[in-house]
Amino acid sequence: MALTYAPPAGIEPKTPPSRTSALLSRIKGMLLAPKAEWSIVARESTPTVSLLGYVMPFAALASVLVLAYFLSTARIPRESGLILASLAFGFELVGVYAVAIIINALASFFGAVPDQRKACMIAVYAFTPVWIATLFIPIPAWSLPLKLLAGAYHSYLLYLGLQVLMQPPRDRAVGYAATVVLCSVFLRIVFMLVSSGLAGTDHLSPCHVFG
C-alpha cells in the first residue's frame, strides 16, 4: 500500500524553493545583508558536497570568460585557451576547498572551533562578491575598480563568517581573517603562474581574469 501525506486542514503545503531561487537568495543575502545571512547559514546543515551547487555556476562562468578573453583579445591558440579555461574551472572548485582546509587548520591556533563543514561554507559563500565581479571583465573601465571592491568585501564577509561559524575570540578574529585572506591570495598567484606555464602563455598576464 502506498503512503501519501495530506497536510492538516487549513494548512497549505509549502513548496521548497528551486535551486535557482535559492542561489539568487543566497547571493542577495551575502551582498546586501551579510550579518543576517551568516546567521541563516549557521542554522543550516548543508552537506559539503551540496556546496558544489553554489560554486559550479561561478566556476563555469569564470572558465567561459577566460576562454573568450584569451581567444579574442590575446589571440592565443585555441588549445591553449581551452587549457586555461579548464584550469580556471578546476581551480574555482579545488581552490575554494583548499581555502576551507586552511580555515579549519588555523581554527585551533586562533582559538576557534574546528569544523570542516562550516569552514567549507565560509570559503564558498565569502567568495560571492569576487565571483560576481567577474561579470564585468568585458568592461575594462569597471573591471579593476570592481575587483578591488570585491576583494575588500570578500575579506569582510570572511571576517563575519569566521565570527559566526568558527567562533574565535573577538580579539583574534581579525588576525584569523587576515591570515586566511593572505593564504587565498597566495593560492591565486600560484594558480596563475602554474596555469600560464601549462598553457604556454607565460608571456601574457592573466591577472585581470583571475585576479
How far CA 89 is from CA of 12, 35, 115, in Å, comes to: 42, 29, 26
pLDDT at 3: 42
**Does 91 score more than 80 pLDDT?**
yes
Q: How far is CA 169 from the centre of its chain?
A: 25
Nearest to 166 by CA among 156, 175, 176, 154: 176
Confidence at residue 146, expressed as pLDDT on a 0 to 100 scale: 87
Which of the pair, 94 or 75, is modelled with greater confidence? Answer: 94
- 68 or 108: which leads in pLDDT: 108
Query: Which of 60-69, 93-102, 182-191 has the highest average model confidence (pLDDT)?
Result: 93-102
Give residue 144's pLDDT: 80
Please say if the pLDDT value at position 199 is more than 60. Answer: no
- pLDDT computed for residue 161 by the predictor: 97
By CB neighbour count within 10 A (0-12 exposed, 13-18 middle, 19+ buried), where does 198 fall? middle
Q: Looking at residues 96-112, what average pLDDT do you find?
A: 96
How high is the mean pLDDT of the chain?
A: 82
CA distance to 99, 101, 106, 148, per residue, from 113 (Å)? 16, 13, 10, 30
Of all residues in the chain, the percent with pLDDT exceeding 70 is 78
